[in-house]
Structure 1
């Protein structure tokens, strides 16, 4: 006679659980004395014919136990603890028997030693659910594992492991024993299913990931050679339970917390279809709430190292580590969730955790649980889900939200953020998380990157071209040998992080450099990157510092590295809004002049070792154009003329003597190469020498006498216009003075009489025809742009023989003071110059950029909006065009 509670359980099983109904038919003999069977379910399940093969005995035992546990659970005879412990104890025994059988089948006379199973997850804490798989790690000792003759232990261990899985997972008419998942072992995609114990210990001591720490909170030796298993767990205990909670550990713990929330994007909302395990406020959040606090405090307090979830919550509350009411609420919710989870799995023996979506199926589960309908089930669960969600939310604190770790959840977030190609961005982020780059191979580096991703991704998505922005960052990461310190620095200094994001998003010129040469980050990390560039003597001192004496190639690399860092930093100042673009342009020029000084001196010294020196002679370098005017952009080339003092028919005094003309032409070629040829540290400048006497057809270097004669007798108007911005930048003070004297004499009238206005007008028209503007923002070449302004200034300077200074802005001021120029031109020069310097960085194609970059440009030029920029540019161009037109007609 079956008692009422058991009779109800049997009836509900037949009516609402096809799997249990099948077991009731096949194991009907158990109903003959169900009370006795439930008194010791494991013994009852295992009381089978000893002559049966081990695999069949295990399948039949599992079938019987499944029925007894279900009836004990549904009747209320077994509480949750009894249910999970019965299932876990059976799993331990079945795994142990499978290991012993696998070894004895291969080596019948050997002791089943040297092979152990480490239970993880719910098996490890004796909390297995009704249809759970098991997640063991299999380890072996090569020295003691029984092997066949001439068989290496590694091959034997894999064969044993495969047989164990076969014994447990294979299905036949009697069902199966249990599913086995070995993917929690280290690097499962490349490692064998059974690991040498010392190799496994080495992995967990040096390479293991944060989630693996949480997994081992519940680990125990459960089957096989338990002595071996206990040795393994003892060896890796310091990996799991760390006494000191350092920066990296806290980050690891937070990462575990985040991964749970976003691993499954679906089934998060409570109601039909809700995932009891992975949903927000569900089982996994309770488990990880406990485990995170255990990881933080368990290193110093062994009493907190209890494996079972509810025991851990109680221990943490008793120790004052978590709120007692929260602990009680989480424990009650855990019991309720796990009980309903078991009902779900009893229906068809499926490893499911999700409430059915359909009304009929959900009603069926509710009735199996003894409730009236699905509504009663939902309302019974609702307060627990809401309370768990609130408690778990407290783990995040004030921490910035992280990006989802699940690709299915991440891609919609990337699309929502504004990426034109969210799938492409997803591939890049997944690549980073996969640790494929050298800088991202350590768990600490990947965790540090995770902390940066939300802010970086938000910035990338707002870029004019979000795909290019994230691709540039990807290129940068691919070239970094190590990045963890940089990532952590960026995390600690949001301003620096924002600056780098802004560079990648708004300044393609800088971003491309950063992607090619990651060492530029060194200059950006230094806080002095946003300070004004030092004066030329200080820069020369930095660049000339050479610890390796006369090593010329090292000197070239040293200068290139410093110049690129400093130019990059100047560009960053514009992006950051830290400096006036006009001042930045002067900084670019000071850096270039220092580089010319140092590299020319080093090249001369190297050249002299082979060819000696030309007596009473030296090289002088004359700068023209923007270099002469000390107002470069990031993209400016260097307009240089190479001159030499002394007699042109002299000869050098070295081992390989050369005549002066050949000597200085070869030397000039070497200096040009030093300034322009790319090396490992990157290129420096494009050097343009076409402004030399006779242009590209003339010798690269000419004597001072030849230069003076050419300028006084043969030079054309355009060459004299160029001379208005000439400035010696290399040579002794005496030589520089001599060159400057020639320039001054020519500008003040020692030159052929030319129709300056007609020549200039013709030249400007030809230039407009052959070199049109790049786009609607080309502040240099558009009508009324900087070129028109420069032509107007130079015509006035040459015609009136006044206001001769290489700096264009100062020349304009002088012309205005003398009443020769429109008072609107100083402001016009400043706007056009600021635009040119800024656009060379953020819109080098002179096309209108995206809205966020438009705001950056407006800020750089000192205007309140992009509309104001466009209007001011149009008005300024009109003023300049009118001024130039008035000069052209002789007004």
Structure 2
């Protein structure tokens, strides 16, 4: 019998089923009346304890009515039964007459209906205690395995119709996708609302053998993306499993899929301790006993289990537990049966400590299932039998509690409810008539877990000296360090200009913003400041660094989770002080977007810039989880992506981890990846609205006949942190043809609107600002020209109307993204225009006149009057005579004057390689070319340095002398006169 307090809830559930059932064809009163007394008692209990089941029954009315009436719902759920249900539900998706364009959508629907059936069945048996705890977790894991393996087969069949099978380059054998199930999924221990952690891999590289050949990497990325979509996307029918890919090599910044060789290299060279922890339960979900799976596990095993007894695992687990404790405190999760004190996670940590420490020597401990390992620990004497028994009973009680919480509303939570009704529902699920009785039993189990965890894994306390030092830093923050204590402290911890630091500290501490903080926020600030001051105190420039850090602190005083992040992650705090001390720009950049503090958590990734392909894969994955119709979120994700990677580039530059040219290349690749994504997003939105453009045969053109041309810095691979993008949009669609949608548009109008949409996506101000500033003035006819020009119009303009300076700009212009045919046509036009005959004197005159106009308008080099005995001469590093632009004009003139005879000069658009071309073709003395290259690099390095310090490019005499500007300027002027006099 249910407690009387739940009677009203049961009546409400019946009313809901009666009302909603009418709409879905479920005659609930008739079904109820037809049940036996025992069936009614069981049904009443389940429906009272799970609102999710109540909501689900009408949505598959006939099936559930039969299952309840026949008691099928009380029978164990096998993998074979799950598979049979999916066969039934996916009949239409697998139908021969179903068009491919509809199959994936129908498959998604079938999976979600399957989940509903299976979840109701599993909850039914779990709530009635017909299933053991581990039978419940096994059934949930079987459901995940079936959905993953069947989806791979289904999606793979569709992909192979287009691309053919992926074949190994060396083996000549078809290559499978192997999916590693991590964590609870790997151990067949899923809970009712688990997400699933996956890693994708395949044996070897190669190409597909089909109509449209792509690499195996590209094939498996497509397969992986579609698999994630099939499982994770929320539709009208719900979702299947929340899918998390962050455990893969390199995390979110890593490629979605890697081959075995790359996996082995990563885990040998870069695998981290927490990844060992994650690998303990890893399982190949797609055929664990086949040769490929065994080969993969052989690769992973040496990383996970060390050949020696590895006591360092204790420290890793302590560190992880400390991070979890911090999260518990930050989010108030003390009553969380998983993460709270004495919770599920502590039992897991105890078990995995022994696995990681001794698993390399004792292969029994390489078992995945937690309860089996506890038996091994007891049987082999690693732990007393009584301790293992207490941990086992606590684990089962906690897992049952977890399921009871999640069964309420199918929510991904382990937090005990706070309202009386739901507390009583959880208690009843565990066999208690009163909440207080349940809490007593819960606390008994948690206390036992806490005790054993403290004995085995718990972190050591700081020694007395460390605690005393922390108190001293806190006193310094509170301005409570005086007299002898102050003198001794400052002697032990010398600081450059400590008085100025303390004055600025006082101003911040006494500010209105700090005074207005709530108590919990002030406590978090007080916890952080001693650590921050300790890090800052020994910095070579503490005053300026503090001046840059304080605006960031002020920006997050109302979002104190960031204070906790810095306090709980000393490495992140250390990186923040280093970067803010090195660059004004970085400090302001993080202050404007505090979300970037997350990037500081892992110095290894902060100072590693991914390749262009990895960038594209990361961006694809970021956007994969956003609804394709949610443009606002897509735009926000694009901005966050760009900001995160600009910060990484700046970090590498200010810490001298990468040279200037590598940083510029990276910033340029970042822009290219983002532009390509913006182009495709815009194309998809335009096609959805207007249909596809058509060709002369009235056939749909299903890929954009479009190209984005980059001029200036982005064209020359010289982007800086605040560079705008000089762009021209071109299309080569069939003229006088129209799109095939209901709202048909002329092809040219379609592409113009697509270009406008691209500009909108890039320049609209969202919460994170704009994506890039875009300058379209270099398009044909400038501001009065079409946003998107046809290739024919571009060609005609360049031949008949363009000024010499526009041809100079074309020297640095290159296609950044677009259709191969469109790009090829652009390149042909560029070559034709740049190689056309030119009268040399006229060309020199045009170049000189344009350069002089720029100097007159933008330069600052003028002799000022003596003032207080000081010369006021200034020099603009970019615009004045002998500066950056002079070098660029020499290069542009050299290409225009000589590329007809030396077409190799058209290969590159960056100044450094064009200067190499001058030298190799004999147009410029090799020594002169190398000098010009070095001066250009020196100038650009100073430009970047000043950008990172928010300084202008105007140099005073002192700076000119320090940088040896006079000598370098004279060399540029000499070559200018030699080439353009």
Asked whether the equivalents of residues 439 and 481 of structure 1 are also in contact (C-alpha less than 8 Å), the reply is: no
Alignment partner, residue 348 of structure 1: none
Alignment partner, residue 456 of structure 1: 536
In the TM superposition, what is the alpha-carbon distance from 1:798 to its structure 2 partner? 0.3
- The Cα offsets for residues 734-755 of structure 1, whole Å up to 9 and x where unpaired, read as 2211111111111111789992
In the TM superposition, what is the alpha-carbon distance from 1:884 to its structure 2 partner? 1.2
In the TM superposition, what is the alpha-carbon distance from 1:591 to its structure 2 partner? 0.3
What pairs with 1:186-205 in structure 2 (closer than 5 Å)? none
Q: Aligned partners of 1:577 and 1:718: how far apart in 2?
A: 36
Instruction: Tell me whether 1:268 sits opposite 2:483 in the alignment.
Output: yes
Q: Aligned partners of 1:626 and 1:741: how far apart in 2?
A: 22
Asked whether the equivalents of residues 414 and 426 of structure 1 are also in contact (C-alpha less than 8 Å), the reply is: no
What pairs with 1:662-811 in structure 2 (closer than 5 Å)? 662-749=749-836, 755-773=842-860, 776=874, 778-801=876-899, 802=902, 803-804=905-906, 805-811=908-914
Q: Aligned partners of 1:414 and 1:426: how far apart in 2?
A: 17
Task: Go from structure 1 to structure 2 and tell me whether the alpha carbon gap of 1:460 and 1:265 turns closer, same or farther (over 3 Å shift).
Answer: same
- The Cα offsets for residues 554-606 of structure 1, whole Å up to 9 and x where unpaired, read as 22222211111001110111111111112101110000000000111111111
Alignment partner, residue 683 of structure 2: 604
Instruction: State the SS of the aligned residue for 2:707.
Output: strand
Alignment partner, residue 512 of structure 1: 588
Q: Aligned partners of 1:445 and 1:868: how far apart in 2?
A: 44
In the TM superposition, what is the alpha-carbon distance from 1:451 to its structure 2 partner? 1.6
Instruction: State the SS of the aligned residue for 1:478.
Output: coil
Alignment partner, residue 233 of structure 1: none
Task: Go from structure 1 to structure 2 and tell me whether the alpha carbon gap of 1:245 and 1:738 turns closer, same or farther (over 3 Å shift).
Answer: closer
Q: Aligned partners of 1:248 and 1:444: how far apart in 2?
A: 19
Q: Aligned partners of 2:726 and 2:912: how far apart in 1?
A: 19
Q: Aligned partners of 1:567 and 1:826: how far apart in 2?
A: 25
Larger RCO (CA within 8 A; separation ≥ 6): 1
Task: Go from structure 1 to structure 2 and tell me whether the alpha carbon gap of 1:257 and 1:479 turns closer, same or farther (over 3 Å shift).
Answer: closer
In the TM superposition, what is the alpha-carbon distance from 1:431 to its structure 2 partner? 5.0
Q: Aligned partners of 2:681 and 2:763: how far apart in 1?
A: 15
Q: Aligned partners of 1:440 and 1:672: how far apart in 2?
A: 43
Instruction: State the SS of the aligned residue for 2:952.
Output: coil
Instruction: State the SS of the aligned residue for 1:613.
Output: coil
Alignment partner, residue 874 of structure 1: 966
What pairs with 1:14-25 in structure 2 (closer than 5 Å)? none
In the TM superposition, what is the alpha-carbon distance from 1:435 to its structure 2 partner? 7.4
Alignment partner, residue 216 of structure 1: none
- Structure with max Cα Rg: 1
Asked whether the equivalents of residues 733 and 748 of structure 2 are also in contact (C-alpha less than 8 Å), the reply is: no
Asked whether the equivalents of residues 704 and 739 of structure 1 are also in contact (C-alpha less than 8 Å), the reply is: yes
Task: Go from structure 1 to structure 2 and tell me whether the alpha carbon gap of 1:462 and 1:256 turns closer, same or farther (over 3 Å shift).
Answer: closer
Task: Go from structure 1 to structure 2 and tell me whether the alpha carbon gap of 1:459 and 1:610 turns closer, same or farther (over 3 Å shift).
Answer: same
Task: Go from structure 1 to structure 2 and tell me whether the alpha carbon gap of 1:458 and 1:658 turns closer, same or farther (over 3 Å shift).
Answer: farther
Instruction: State the SS of the aligned residue for 1:782.
Output: coil
Task: Specify which of 655, 658, 677 is matched with residue 576 of structure 1.
Answer: 655
In the TM superposition, what is the alpha-carbon distance from 1:707 to its structure 2 partner? 0.6
Alignment partner, residue 540 of structure 1: 616
In the TM superposition, what is the alpha-carbon distance from 1:766 to its structure 2 partner? 0.6
- Unpaired segments ≥5 residues, structure 2: 1-331, 336-446, 696-703, 862-872
Asked whether the equivalents of residues 479 and 518 of structure 1 are also in contact (C-alpha less than 8 Å), the reply is: no
Task: Specify which of 548, 551, 556 is matched with residue 477 of structure 1.
Answer: 556
Asked whether the equivalents of residues 710 and 727 of structure 2 are also in contact (C-alpha less than 8 Å), the reply is: yes
- Unpaired segments ≥5 residues, structure 1: 1-202, 207-237, 270-278, 281-388, 404-412, 855-865
Alignment partner, residue 665 of structure 2: 586
In the TM superposition, what is the alpha-carbon distance from 1:263 to its structure 2 partner? 7.8
What pairs with 1:5-16 in structure 2 (closer than 5 Å)? none
Q: Aligned partners of 1:450 and 1:660: how far apart in 2?
A: 64
In the TM superposition, what is the alpha-carbon distance from 1:792 to its structure 2 partner? 0.5
What pairs with 1:308-323 in structure 2 (closer than 5 Å)? none
Q: Aligned partners of 2:741 and 2:841: how far apart in 1?
A: 45
Asked whether the equivalents of residues 417 and 461 of structure 1 are also in contact (C-alpha less than 8 Å), the reply is: no
Instruction: State the SS of the aligned residue for 2:729.
Output: strand
Task: Go from structure 1 to structure 2 and tell me whether the alpha carbon gap of 1:883 and 1:753 turns closer, same or farther (over 3 Å shift).
Answer: closer
Higher mean C-alpha deviation, range 637-646 or range 440-449: 440-449
Q: Aligned partners of 1:735 and 1:662: how far apart in 2?
A: 17
Task: Go from structure 1 to structure 2 and tell me whether the alpha carbon gap of 1:817 and 1:870 turns closer, same or farther (over 3 Å shift).
Answer: farther
Instruction: State the SS of the aligned residue for 1:723.
Output: helix
Q: Aligned partners of 1:448 and 1:705: how far apart in 2?
A: 62
In the TM superposition, what is the alpha-carbon distance from 1:510 to its structure 2 partner? 2.2
- The Cα offsets for residues 321-346 of structure 1, whole Å up to 9 and x where unpaired, read as xxxxxxxxxxxxxxxxxxxxxxxxxx
Instruction: Tell me whether 1:443 sits opposite 2:523 in the alignment.
Output: yes
Q: Aligned partners of 2:461 and 2:800: how far apart in 1?
A: 74
In the TM superposition, what is the alpha-carbon distance from 1:525 to its structure 2 partner? 2.4
- The Cα offsets for residues 480-511 of structure 1, whole Å up to 9 and x where unpaired, read as 441355324553x3xx5454224323422222
Task: Specify which of 907, 919, 922 is matched with residue 819 of structure 1.
Answer: 922
In the TM superposition, what is the alpha-carbon distance from 1:254 to its structure 2 partner? 5.0
Q: Aligned partners of 1:439 and 1:483: how far apart in 2?
A: 16
Task: Go from structure 1 to structure 2 and tell me whether the alpha carbon gap of 1:506 and 1:778 turns closer, same or farther (over 3 Å shift).
Answer: farther
Alignment partner, residue 948 of structure 2: 841
Task: Go from structure 1 to structure 2 and tell me whether the alpha carbon gap of 1:459 and 1:418 turns closer, same or farther (over 3 Å shift).
Answer: farther
In the TM superposition, what is the alpha-carbon distance from 1:641 to its structure 2 partner? 0.3
Instruction: State the SS of the aligned residue for 1:755.
Output: helix
Q: Aligned partners of 2:806 and 2:591: how far apart in 1?
A: 40
Q: Aligned partners of 2:751 and 2:890: how far apart in 1?
A: 36
- The Cα offsets for residues 597-647 of structure 1, whole Å up to 9 and x where unpaired, read as 011111111122112222246221111111111121111111110111123
Paired residues, number: 498
Asked whether the equivalents of residues 651 and 660 of structure 1 are also in contact (C-alpha less than 8 Å), the reply is: yes
Task: Go from structure 1 to structure 2 and tell me whether the alpha carbon gap of 1:594 and 1:247 turns closer, same or farther (over 3 Å shift).
Answer: farther
Task: Go from structure 1 to structure 2 and tell me whether the alpha carbon gap of 1:526 and 1:650 turns closer, same or farther (over 3 Å shift).
Answer: farther
Task: Go from structure 1 to structure 2 and tell me whether the alpha carbon gap of 1:667 and 1:457 turns closer, same or farther (over 3 Å shift).
Answer: farther
Task: Specify which of 629, 638, 644 is matched with residue 725 of structure 2.
Answer: 638
